[in-house]
C-alpha cells in the first residue's frame, strides 16, 4: 500500500468509530474496500447511524431519507 500523504489530517477528521481498522485515515482504501461490498464508509453516516456498523447502501438511503424528512 502506498503511503498516504494526508493520513494525519484524515485521522483528525475521521468519524468512524471502528478504531482498529487498518484502512482508518486512508480514505481512498476505505472507500474502495467498502464499495467493493456495495457499502459506504462510516464517515458518510450520521453519528448515531455510524455506530451501528451497518454500512449498506439501503441503510444509508433510509437513514438520510428519514433525517431529511423525505418520502
Q: Is residue 7 part of a domain?
A: no
Q: Is residue 60 part of a domain?
A: yes
- Domain boundaries, position 68: 39-71
Q: Is residue 20 part of a domain?
A: no
Q: Is residue 51 part of a domain?
A: yes
pLDDT tens figures, 32-60: 999 999 999 999 999 999 999 999 999 99
Q: Is residue 9 part of a domain?
A: no
pTM of the model: 0.84
Distances (CA, A) of 43 to 1, 2, 47, 65, 71: 21, 22, 8, 17, 24
* Percent of the chain predicted with pLDDT > 70: 96
Q: How many domains is the chain partitioned into structurally?
A: 1
Amino acid at each position: 500500500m502506498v503511503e498516504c500523504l494526508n493520513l494525519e489530517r484524515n485521522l483528525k477528521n475521521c468519524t468512524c468509530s471502528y478504531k482498529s481498522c487498518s484502512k482508518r485515515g486512508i480514505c481512498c482504501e476505505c472507500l474502495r474496500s467498502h464499495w467493493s461490498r456495495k457499502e459506504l464508509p462510516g464517515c458518510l453516516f450520521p453519528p448515531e447511524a455510524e455506530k451501528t456498523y451497518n454500512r449498506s447502501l439501503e441503510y444509508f438511503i433510509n437513514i438520510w431519507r428519514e433525517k431529511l424528512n423525505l418520502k
